[in-house]
């Protein structure tokens, strides 16, 4: 389990994002939910998009029960036509979209030699195509309103070889390239495009995505007994603890705030220093 962390304490001023509209894909669980909760706490109306209705209802219920603003929309980011329709609908309902958080992702460990075309396609379509579809769809709205921010979810695994993750590392490398390219292409429209590369955060979805095949010899970081988990955090992560959704949410809020006004095309690693210290697999 993650250690108790000061990162969960409020650090931004109340009302920082008052009047803003944020669309968060995959925002119903895990890191996406943490992002949705913080943006709503800071005053934004958060539209949470997810494939699964049960996640949407629970997330919106939890946020609105605290007196914040959130609504839900069913969306599979792989469906280009549906992405366009949802973005139009959100803009029509709220009059604007200030922030898009491309958080939806799907990963699993699988040997590259046996990866089926559909397995490859599934991850590329969710992570890379989905990020592009959503980002392209908000462009005309953000351009017409005089600017906006896009924050996408990358990772650190493609910074070196990461066996059994060819599909996800290829997709996330694509997201990095997209982030840098769109940052330059859309700067004249004042659309800031950045990404965050999270380190290990043991949410349920991440545990599922990073459960290695039984015979792969890859250690399952997230399935160990609690004391082993704590030991890994102390010895494997320079800053000595697991990450939390709030660690990532804080970076999103920073980038959404005026503090991020001169930041575009950047990919922020938020991982307690893990990737720099980790021995190659």
User: 209, 196 in Cβ contact below 8 A?
Assistant: no
Closer of 123 and 233 to ligand COA (Cβ): 123
Task: Give me the residues that bind ligand COA (CB under 6 A), please.
Answer: 105-108, 110, 116, 118-119, 122-123, 205-206, 208-209
5 or 122: whose CB is closer to ligand COA?
122
Least distance from C-beta 116 to ligand COA, angstroms? 3
Helix (H, G, I), strand (E, B) or coil at 201: coil
- Residue 20 CB, shortest distance to ligand COA, in Å, is 26
Number of helices and strands in the chain (H, E): 10, 7
| 129 versus 139: smaller Cβ distance to ligand COA | 129
Own/partner long-range contacts of 264-267 (Cβ < 8 Å, ≥24 apart): 264/183, 264/187, 264/192, 264/193, 264/194, 265/179, 265/180, 265/183, 265/184, 265/193, 265/194, 266/179, 266/183, 266/194, 266/195, 267/154, 267/176, 267/179, 267/180, 267/194, 267/195, 267/196, 267/197
In whole angstroms, how close is the CB of 266 to ligand COA at the nearest point?
21
- Rank residues 152 and 264 by Cβ distance to ligand COA and give the closer one: 152
Start-end of H helices in 124-244:
130-145, 166-185, 204-209, 226-236
Q: How far is the CB of 218 from ligand COA (least distance, A)?
A: 12
Q: How far is the CB of 160 from ligand COA (least distance, A)?
A: 19
- Spatial contact of 205 and 162, defined as CB atoms under 8 Å apart: no
Q: Decide whether 59 or 206 has the Cβ nearer to ligand COA.
A: 206
Q: Which residue is nearest to ligand COA (CB)?
A: 106
Q: Cβ of residue 13: shortest distance to ligand COA, in angstroms? A: 31
Is the Cβ of residue 148 or residue 212 nearer to ligand COA in the bound state?
212
Residue ranges of the alpha helices (H) in the chain?
Answer: 30-41, 53-65, 80-94, 117-123, 130-145, 166-185, 204-209, 226-236, 245-256, 274-277
């Amino acid at each position: 389990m993650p250690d108790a962390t000061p990162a969960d304490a409020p650090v931004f001023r109340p009302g920082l994002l008052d009047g803003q509209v944020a669309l968060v894909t995959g925002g119903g669980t895990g890191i996406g939910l943490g992002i949705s909760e913080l943006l709503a706490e800071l005053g934004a109306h958060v539209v949470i998009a997810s494939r699964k209705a049960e996640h949407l209802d629970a997330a919106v219920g939890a946020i609105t029960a605290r007196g914040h603003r959130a609504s839900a929309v069913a969306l599979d980011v792989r469906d280009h036509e549906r992405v366009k329709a949802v973005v139009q609908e959100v803009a029509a309902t709220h009059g604007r979209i200030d922030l898009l958080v491309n958080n939806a992702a799907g990963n699993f460990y699988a040997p590259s030699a046996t990866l089926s075309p559909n397995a490859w396609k599934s991850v590329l379509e969710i992570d890379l195509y989905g990020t592009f579809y959503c980002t392209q769809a908000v462009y005309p709205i953000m351009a017409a309103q005089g600017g906006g921010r896009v924050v996408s979810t990358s990772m650190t695994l493609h910074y070196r070889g990461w066996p059994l993750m060819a599909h996800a590392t290829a997709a996330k490398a694509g997201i990095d390239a997209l982030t840098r390219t769109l940052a330059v292409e859309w700067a004249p429209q004042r659309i800031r495009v950045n990404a965050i590369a999270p380190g290990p955060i043991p949410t349920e979805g991440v545990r599922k995505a990073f459960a290695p095949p039984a015979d792969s010899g890859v250690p399952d970081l997230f399935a160990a007994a609690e004391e082993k988990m704590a030991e890994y955090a102390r010895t494997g992560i320079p800053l000595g603890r697991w990450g939390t959704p709030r660690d990532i949410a804080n970076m999103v809020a920073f980038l959404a705030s005026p503090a991020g006004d001169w930041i575009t095309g950047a990919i922020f690693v938020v991982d307690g220093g893990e990737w720099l210290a980790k021995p190659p697999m």
